Structure 1
Amino acid sequence: MADAKYVFMRIIAPLLGFLIANVMFFSGVPGFLERKRLGELGNFNPLPYPVILANCASWIAYSLYIDDYFLFFANAPGMLVGVYFTMVGYGLSPYGGKTRDAIERWTVGLVGALLALTLYVGLVAKKESDEHKQTTIGLFCNAVLLVYYASPLTTVKEVLEKRDASSLYFPISCANFVNGASWATYGLALNDWLLFAPNAMGAALGALQMALIRAYPSEGTPGGGGGREMRQTPSTADLLSNPTGPGLVNSSAL
C-alpha cells in the first residue's frame, strides 16, 4: 500500500499534471497560427502570455533549486509558448494601440521583476542558505500566480453577480481542477508548501467554476454544460479569456 501511495503521489500525479498543463498550453497554438497566417489579431487576446512566460520561467528557476525534473519539463514548453505568443501577439497588434502598449508594459515589467529576482538570489543573497534562496524564488512564483489568477477570479465574480455561467466552459474548468490537484498532490508528497499552496488554490478555483456551471446552467445546456454561446470545443479566444495555470499552466504549469 505504501509503495502504491508513493508511486501515485511522486510519479503518477506529476506526470498527469505535466500532460494536462502542456495540453492547456498548446491548445491555443492552431488558432493563433491561423491568426498569424491571416496577419491580424482579430478577437484573440495575447495579454496572458507575458504572464505565462514569467510564471513558467520562475517555476523553472524553482525546479533547479529543488532538483525536480517533473517541474522543469512541465514549465519549459509553456515558457516557449509564452515567448512565441508574446512576440506574435505584439507583431499582430495595431501600432500605437492599447493592446500593443499593454504587451510592452507587462513584458518589460515582468522581465524586470525576473531580473531583480536573479540579482537578489545570485548576488545580494549569495551568502544566504539555499533554503532562503529557494523560499525567495517560491514566494516570487506565488506572487506571479496572483496575477495569473486575476482573470478567472474576475470571471467568477461576474458569474455570481449575473447568476449566469455562460462565460465558463466545463472541460477547461475540469482540466484546471485536475491539473491543480495533481500538482498539489505532488507538492504534498514533497512536503513543499510553496508548491502545494498555489496548486491547491488552482484546484479549488477549478472546482468552484464547475460548481457555478452546475448552479447557473445556461439556456440550452440543462444540467450545467456551461457556455450558452460557446462552441462544442473552445477556441483560442475562449482559452485566453480564462487563463489558469498549474500551479500552471496553472500555477506551475504550474
Structure 2
Amino acid sequence: MVDAKQVRFIIGVIGNVISFGLFAAPAKTFWRIFKKKSVEEFSYVPYVATVMNCMLWVFYGLPVVHKDSYLVSTINGVGLVIELFYVGVYLMYCGHKQNYRKKILLYLLGEVVSVAIIVLITLFVIKNDFIKQTFVGIICDIFNIAMYASPSLAIITVVKTKSVEYMPFLLSLVCFVNAAIWTSYSLIFKIDYYVLASNGIGTFLALSQLIVYFMYYKSTPKKEKTVKPSEVEIPATNRV
C-alpha cells in the first residue's frame, strides 16, 4: 500500500519534470541569440533574477534548513545550472551593449554576496530550526511570488487592447500546472507552509491569467503569427 510519504515523493518527481520543462522554455530564445550572434533587444533581467531564486530554493531544500525537501533542492540545482548557461550565452553575445556585461556581472556578484549572507545568518546566528525555516522560507516566497506575478503584468495590456497577442498562453498554462503540483506536494505528509504559500498564490495568479486569456481570445484580431521578443524572452521563473 502506498503511504503519504511515497505519494509526496511521486508528486515531487512529477513537479521536478514539469519544472525542468519550465527551465528549458527559454532555450528557443537563446538558440536565436546563438544563431544571430546578438542578444538583440532581449532582456537579461529575468534570467539573472531566476539565478537568485534558484540559489535560495536550493538552500531552503537542504536538511540544514528543511528536512524531507531535497526534491526542492534537486530541481533548483538543475535550474541554477541552466540559468547560468543562459546568462553565459547572453554575456557572450552582448558585445554591442558593453554596459550590459558590467551590469550583469555586478548583479550576479550582488546575488552571490546576498545569498552568502543569508546562509551565514541561517547557519551561525539562528539556532532554532523553526526560525531557520521561517527566515529562509519567507525570502524564497518573496522572490517566487514576484516571478509568478510577472506574466500577470500583461493582463493590463490585454484588457486595454482586448487582445491576447502579448499574453503567452503556454507559459501561463504550464505555470498553473507547475504551481498546482507543488501546492499538492506541500500539503502531503508534512505540510510545508513556505512552498504552499508561494505556489498557492502562484496557482491563483496563473489561473487568473488563463481566465483573462479565454475572456479576450475571441476578440483578438487575427493576423499572421510573428515571433516577438516580448513573447519569447520571459523565462519560466517559478519552479517551486
**The TM-score by the shorter chain falls in which range?**
0.7 to 0.9
- The residue that corresponds to 1:202 in the other structure is 202
Question: Aligned partners of 1:18 and 1:236: how far apart in 2?
Answer: 27
Structure 2: runs of 5 or more not aligned: none
Mapped partners of 1:146, 1:55: distance in 2:
10
Give the secondary structure class of the aligned counterpart of 2:214: helix
Taking only the aligned residue pairs, the percentage that are identical comes to 23
Matches within 5 A, 1:1-254: 3=2, 8=7, 10-64=8-62, 65-67=65-67, 68-94=69-95, 99-100=100-101, 102-125=103-126, 128-149=127-148, 151-189=150-188, 190-217=190-217, 218-220=220-222, 230=225, 238-241=231-234, 243-245=235-237, 250=238, 253-254=239-240
Tell me, in whole angstroms, the C-alpha distance in 1 between the residues paired with 2:130 and 2:3.
30
Q: In structure 2, what residue type is equivalent to 1:219?
A: P
TM-score, normalized by length of structure 1?
0.80
Q: How many residues were matched structurally?
A: 234
Task: Tell me the residue number matched to 1:225.
Answer: none
CA displacement at 1:4 relative to structure 2: 7.6
C-alpha deviation, 1:83, in angstroms:
1.3
Deviates more, 1:166-175 or 1:42-51: 42-51
Task: For residue 195 of structure 1, report the CA deviation from its aligned partner.
Answer: 0.6
Q: 1:185 to 1:146 in 2, by over 3 A?
A: closer
Contact 1:184 / 1:196 at 8 angstroms: preserved in 2? yes
AA aligned to 1:51 is A
Q: Is the 8 A contact 1:51 1:147 kept in 2?
A: no
For 1:200 and 1:26, how far apart are their aligned partners in 2? 23
Query: Aligned in 2, Cα 1:47/1:33: closer, same or farther, shift over 3 Å?
Result: same
Tell me which residue corresponds to 1:224: none
Unaligned runs of 5+ in 1: 221-227
CA contact (8 A) 1:25 1:78 kept: yes
One-letter amino acid of the counterpart of residue 77, structure 1: V
Query: Structure 1 residues 51, 165: CA separation in 2 closer, same or farther (over 3 Å shift)?
Result: same
Deviation digits for residues 123-152 of structure 1 (CA, Å, limit 9, x no counterpart): 232xx1122112111111112224424532
SS in 1 for 2:187: helix
Go from structure 1 to structure 2 and tell me whether the alpha carbon gap of 1:147 and 1:101 turns closer, same or farther (over 3 Å shift). Answer: farther
Counterpart Cα distance in 2 of 1:101 and 1:162: 37
- The Cα shift of 1:3 comes to 4.5
Structure 2: distance between partners of 1:16 and 1:235: 31
Question: Does the 8 Å contact 2:145/2:201 carry over to 1?
Answer: no
**Superposition TM-score, scaled by structure 2 size:** 0.84
Deviates more, 1:54-63 or 1:13-22: 13-22
Q: 1:56 to 1:236 in 2, by over 3 A?
A: farther
Shift of 1:204: 1.4
| TM-superposed deviation, 1:237 | 5.9
Q: How large is the Cα RMSD of the aligned pairs?
A: 2.7
Q: Which amino acid aligns with 1:157?
A: I
